[in-house]
Amino acid sequence: MMPIGNGTHSQWASFVKAMTFSHLSHLQCSGCGKEYAHQEIHTFCPDCQSPLLSIYDLDRARQETDRDEISHRRKGMWRWHEVLPVIHPENQIFLGEGDTPLLSLPHLEEQLGLSRLYVKDESSNPTGSFKARGLAAAISKAKELGVEKVIIPTAGNAGGAMAAYAARAGLEAYIFMPKDTPFANIEESRMAGAEVVLVDGLISDAAGMAGEKARAEGWFDVSTFKEPYRVEGKKVMGYELAEAFHWQLPDVIIYPTGGGTGLVGMWKAFEEMEKVGWLENTKRPRMVSVQADGCAPVVKAFEAKASFCDFWTNAHTIASGLRVPKSFADHLILEDIYESNGTAIAVSDEAILESQKQLAKAEGIFAAPEGAATLAALKELIKQNWLHADEQIVLFNTGSGLKYLDYGSV
């Protein structure tokens, strides 16, 4: 803390401004509850090896932050800076992420017999996917903490996003990707100056190699949930949804789940908003986790009412973002689905491809396979009578189909 009386008025003013820019209070282990200082570099809890989550002074946010004032700020993820982890505004790396459109789907409503169906279309983020949000937060915070070299294992889009934000932040980037990662992801990463290593295996194999490299050479590992801040960027999807629905949450959110950062992040956002008093009521959405039937660890665990996932063997699906044999935050994903009275559902690659075409033809949205999987899941849930026709339902398209052209999906 800067001592009072030591420093100029402008220094003090900027100090106060910096103190209120973010209400980040500390980090807390999602497993054992141990607290950690946010001013230091952390990965995951060294005691119980669970992910760390950012905790904010929400009482102060309630007093100082006006949700309606936020609506008038410059568009983008960082307008929610009070509930984001960057302390000093100059450390924000902004490439235009956030404030993606929430589109109604009138033709699909008609085809499916629904009345309030939407898609949150994340393809308009920088680098064409929702990964931009998480990496914007993580790289900005890494820069703030003095990190110079970052490393990531990725099934594709996270690599491209990290490369872009690292380039903008002036950080060195190292990326491990499965060799069958879409060409666009490889090329965009290399274009942004990242060192790319193609791995003969899955993202779990890439994660192992990246972890070894990080430990051996001191690179900061930005793997999903192995640092605390990607989930903070992703959670803003939840804030944007609440704002778009006039501070009431939709009935159902159908979300593709690989690492689960977005699902866990949105649930965290809902909790935070409730504590800050921004929501008009306490109704929460039922969260639907969508996976591919060639890699469905969350679905299997959900059906067994388990707290953790078994490692999925022989994982395969065209939706590369869903090819995650076991998320490091599986217990958080499952907790949130259970708490929301939601469900988990697996869909076939054929259903994904069919839904991808349907979404494009009916509504003009060329979704990533992971996003198309949410439409495939919706159709299955309708068959199961799990939904009511008049419910407010939000699909998440996590990225642009244009990044997957080498799969020949169109």
Partner 1 sequence: MAHNILYIEDNPDNMMLVQRALESRGYHLLKAMKGEDGVAKAESEQVDLILLDINLPDIDGYEVARRLRASSKRELKSVPIIAVTANALKGDAEKALDAGCDVYMSKPINIRELWARVEAFVPTS
In b/e form, how buried is each residue of 145-171, taking b as 16+ CB within 10 angstroms? bebeebbbbbbbbbbbbbbbbbbbbeb
Task: Lay out the site mask for partner 1 across 28-47 (x = CB under 8 A, - = otherwise).
Answer: ---xx-----------x--x
Query: In one letter, which amino acid is 139?
Result: I
- Joined together, the tokens standing for residue 231 give 């989930």
Who's near 406: CB < 8 A, 6+ residues apart? Answer: 182, 183, 184
Looking only at the bridges linking them, the beta strands covering 116-121 and 392-397 are parallel
Listed ranges 126-134, 205-213, 291-299, 348-356: which one lies at the site for partner 1 (CB under 8 A): 205-213
Tokens 């589109």 map to which residue?
103
Listed ranges 104-112, 120-128, 154-162, 200-208: which one lies at the site for partner 1 (CB under 8 A): 200-208
Q: Is 200 in the site for partner 1 (CB under 8 A)?
A: yes
Listed ranges 82-90, 138-146, 311-319, 384-392: which one lies at the site for partner 1 (CB under 8 A): 311-319
Q: Is 195 in the site for partner 1 (CB under 8 A)?
A: no
Listed ranges 80-88, 154-162, 309-317, 358-366: which one lies at the site for partner 1 (CB under 8 A): 309-317
Distance CA 194, CA 135 (A): 14
Report the nearest approach of partner 1 to the CB of residue 158 (Å). Answer: 18
Report the nearest approach of partner 1 to the CB of residue 368 (Å). Answer: 24
Distance CA 229, CA 54 (A): 7
List, in sequence order, every residue forming a beta bridge with 289; answer none if it has no partner. 255, 344
Task: Lay out the site mask for partner 1 across 144-183 (x = CB under 8 A, - = otherwise).
Answer: ----------------------------------------
Neighbours of 8 (CB within 10 A): 8
- Binders of partner 1 among residues 213 to 242 (CB under 8 A) are 226
Closer of 312 and 404 to partner 1 (Cβ):
312
Q: Is 308 in the site for partner 1 (CB under 8 A)?
A: yes
Q: How many Cα atoms are found within 13 Å in the side-chain-facing hemisphere of 160?
A: 23
Closer of 215 and 388 to partner 1 (Cβ):
215
Q: Is 303 in the site for partner 1 (CB under 8 A)?
A: no
Report the nearest approach of partner 1 to the CB of residue 296 (Å). Answer: 15
Report the nearest approach of partner 1 to the CB of residue 53 (Å). Answer: 14
Distance CA 17, CA 37 (A): 20
Listed ranges 204-212, 265-273, 291-299, 376-384: which one lies at the site for partner 1 (CB under 8 A): 204-212
Beta strands in 236-311 (DSSP E): 252-256, 286-292
Closer of 126 and 178 to partner 1 (Cβ):
178
Among 160, 250, 325, 342, binds partner 1 (CB under 8 A): 325
330: nearest Cα among 268, 260, 262: 260
Distance CA 288, CA 204 (A): 24
Q: What are phi and psi of 392, to 5 degrees?
A: -80, 115
Q: Is 184 in the site for partner 1 (CB under 8 A)?
A: no
Who's near 395: CB < 8 A, 6+ residues apart? Answer: 105, 117, 118, 119, 120, 254, 371, 374, 375, 378
Among 13, 48, 304, 389, binds partner 1 (CB under 8 A): 48
Closer of 309 and 319 to partner 1 (Cβ):
309
Q: Is 15 in the site for partner 1 (CB under 8 A)?
A: no
# residues near partner 1 by CB under 8 A: 30
Among 35, 212, 217, 280, binds partner 1 (CB under 8 A): 212
Closer of 70 and 209 to partner 1 (Cβ):
209
Among 110, 195, 217, 310, binds partner 1 (CB under 8 A): 310
Q: Is 70 in the site for partner 1 (CB under 8 A)?
A: no
374 and 290 in contact (C-beta within 8 Å)?
yes
373 and 290 in contact (C-beta within 8 Å)?
yes
Q: Is 101 in the site for partner 1 (CB under 8 A)?
A: no
Interface residues toward partner 1, by CB under 8 A: 31-32, 44, 47-50, 199-202, 204-209, 211-212, 226, 307-308, 310-311, 313-314, 325-326, 328, 331
